Amino acid sequence: MKIPYTSRAPFQVLLFWVVQQGNTIQAQSFQVSNTSDNSAPKYEPRWKAGPKDRGTLGLVFSCVITLFLCVWTTVHVNIEPPDAVNPTLARFIPIKALKKNDTLLKFLAKRSVRKLGWGSFTLLVPEGVMAIATYERKTAYLLRDAVNAIINKREGVEQWDLSLAYYAIMGGFVIHKADYDKAIKQFNKTGGGEKEAGSIPHGDLERPGGTETAVKPRESLNLDSKENDTIVRTNIGDAEKQMNAIDGTEDPPKNNPLTLTPYGVLQLAKWQWETHTPTNTSAPDVVGEKTNLFPITSGQVDDKSNANSLAKGLIAWQALWMIVQVIGRQAEHPRLPVTLLELHTCLHTFCAFAMYITWWDKPVDIEVPTEIRLTTSQINFLRKGASLSDDQTNPFRAPPNDKNEESPTDIASAFLTSRSGIGKLMYHRLCGHRNLRKEYFSIIGDAYIRLWKVRRAVWKEGLLISLVGLIFGGVHLVAWHASFPTYVERILWQIAAAVTATAWSGFVLSLWLSVFVEERREDSRLFSRACGVFLGVGIFPVMLVRVYLLVESFASLRRLPYGSYELNIWSNVWPHAG
């Protein structure tokens, strides 16, 4: 139940009262002076009140609220199916019994909880979330173009835009559970027999949710080969269990694979609009006789989105204020030093701005997906899946001559998935449906090889991610000679900044080395796998140093250089929160 807006007023009054009281606290005499009587003090007091200067609370509050706004508003979480559970976060629960608690797993699947988790991850690895954002944008472009090619300017059919394509890839279309349960029962009765195996006889399709009605026959939609159909039909039960269990719990969660993947949405578009031109022009259009598989338009998607231009503008204004005031203080250095917290916040603001632009067309904070009514034959066809080599919506689609092995799980999950969480689709398309904890180094190595093979298709996205990563890491080196509370903290910051600055450079360099080796050796898989293993090991120290940079940004407030609390002209004339 949502809290009425009027009930939030007392909380807002209390919050501003606390801020005001904090600013009126008298400064304590913790000031550390130089030994010379004629020199200015070296450091600020441990606590300084406002409002003549910005004060300790004002400094912290402005940075924290900027971080919160940037992280919270830029993370565009996807849509979960109805009554979904979230086993991904359950792996971090130390108590074994709680990992099987449906109430807890459903709570973890709530949009606000998932958004908080991804926001925390963004504070540590903004490049990782940026990679997901670029992948989703590339997928949205591919899906939009593929669907519009099928529509092909049909009269009365609206072309898809990026907003509707984003809605499709973020889990916006789910199969009606009653239709899915009915298809499962019929599939179990027939045992996956000939009627349900590999093709859909369109002359025998039934109307969703009820009586059978004959429609005009169209071409049968077959799987790539009978061999693939036999493998998938034999292993479909185990495949769906693996799809649910891949998130890490010992017992598979109870999510059904109801959500359509982009490849599944593309298949629905073929059923909806890909028809033969009638020889008799007076005959009714086949499209008009079929059930509408997409009962939502771009305008309705925009209406469901919980973001508007005013909210985006206010957030951008606050982020721009932080960047401008840091630049202004740096221009007047050393009289107005830039604190480590401000520097770290400014860099996160830059990353958030890049993610915000990348996700600009993606709908925000939609909780209820659109249910699709399908026939039993259509659902069972989607459950069996197809080869991913024909997936036009996959940015990581292997080159034509590449011999990538596809497991029955990968084939069966081509059209349907149990959840559409952020990054899940990218992980499955890059690594397959494999357990990351059990096959960590093998999965990382194979993902590295696949990424290297498709580097020409995603070079623009890779360049953007690398640029963001290099700027985020490299600018931390600006504080190499900054003032730190202790000498040990200075050394640790220098090490952490150096590791952060060179992490993405090393990754990009390894890709180019793989190209260099591949041109001179036929079998470069060993070198690429070694680079992937090195990448897998290097993730952990990078995460560790990112944690230190964040913690030290706040810990350094206990001993700031003199002048840190003085205001510059930008802070006086620029309206902002804090």
Q: Residue 379 falls within a domain, yes or no?
A: yes
With beta carbons less than 8 A apart as the criterion, state whether 195 and 365 touch: no
User: What whole-number distance in Å separates Cα of residue 240 and Cα of residue 332?
Assistant: 61
In a domain, 424, yes or no: yes
pLDDT of res. 142: 94
The answer to whether 160 and 144 have CB atoms below 8 angstroms apart is yes
Is 225 a domain residue? yes
Instruction: State the number of CA atoms in the 13 A half-sphere of 565 facing the CB.
Output: 26
Element (H, E) at 215: none
pLDDT for 284: 33
Model pLDDT, residue 286: 36
3-state secondary structure string, 75-144? CCCCCCCCCCCCHHHHCCCCCCHHHHCHHHHHHHCCHHHHHHHHHHHHHHCHHHHHHHHHHHHHHHHHHH
The CA–CA distances, whole Å, from 495 to 339, 479, 544, 568 equal: 18, 12, 11, 31
On whether residue 550 sits in a domain, the answer given is no
CB 545 within 8 A of CB 476: no
pLDDT in tens, 51-75: 556 778 878 888 888 888 888 888 8
Compute the residue count for the chain: 578
262's CB contacts (< 8 A; 6+ apart) are 139, 142, 143, 168, 169, 391, 393, 394, 425
Residues spanned by the domain of 433: 172-276+283-302+371-398+407-447
Residues 6+ apart with CB under 8 A from 323: 346, 349, 350
CB atoms within 10 A of CB 177: 14
Residue 432 lies in a domain: yes
Query: Quick check: is 233 in a domain?
Result: yes
Contact 398, 91 (CB under 8 A): no
CA 82 – CA 294 distance, rounded (Å): 18
Among residues 433, 139, 121, 168, the alpha carbon closest in space to that of 297 is found at 168
Q: Computed over its alpha carbons, how large is the radius of gyration of the chain?
A: 28
Contact (CB, 8 A) for 299 and 161? no
On whether residue 205 sits in a domain, the answer given is: yes
pLDDT value, residue 170: 92
Asked whether residue 58 is domain-assigned, the answer is no
Q: Look-up: residue for tokens 């030994």?
A: 35
The Cα–Cα gap between 393 and 147 comes to 10
Under DSSP, is residue 10 helix (H, G, I), strand (E, B) or coil? helix
How many separate domains does the chain show?
A: 1
Burial of 75 (C-beta count, 10 Å sphere; 0-12/13-18/19+)? buried
DSSP state of 206: B
Q: Quick count: other Cβ atoms within 10 Å of Cβ 525? A: 14
Please list the ranges in the chain whose pLDDT falls under 50.
Answer: 1-38, 193-235, 242, 244-250, 252, 276-289
CA gap 409, 394 in Å, rounded:
17
pTM of the model: 0.77
pLDDT at residue 520, rounded to an integer:
56
